[in-house]
Amino acid sequence: MPYKKGESGNPGGRRKQDLSVRDAARQHTTKALETLIACLDPPTADNTRVAAANALLDRGWGKATQPIGGDEDLGPLIVRIIDPTRRDGG
């Protein structure tokens, strides 16, 4: 059922984030980075430590952005957003 003009589907707005997890993860940023660096030289297969370090960094700082690409043989990926309320298709 569509909302009436001026009526929100989420009248309370977006919930405030619980920043305690983020802040706790950020306290371990240096240790997480040191863990990842230690696994580089000499290269080790300590998957558990790497996964834990990555999880802390993701929770503290967010995941790295990933570019969206198309198939190299087909050229660039084009995204077109169409406003369904416009009659001219734009």
pLDDT digits (tens, 9 = 90+) for 48-64: 889 999 999 999 999 98
Residue 27 has pLDDT above 80, yes or no: yes
Residue 35 has pLDDT above 80, yes or no: yes
Q: What is the pTM of this model?
A: 0.52
Longest pairwise C-alpha distance within the chain: 63
Q: Going along the chain, which residue ranges are E strands?
A: none
Are residues 55 and 35 in contact, defined by beta-carbon separation less than 8 angstroms? no
Domain boundaries, given as residue ranges, for the chain: 19-63
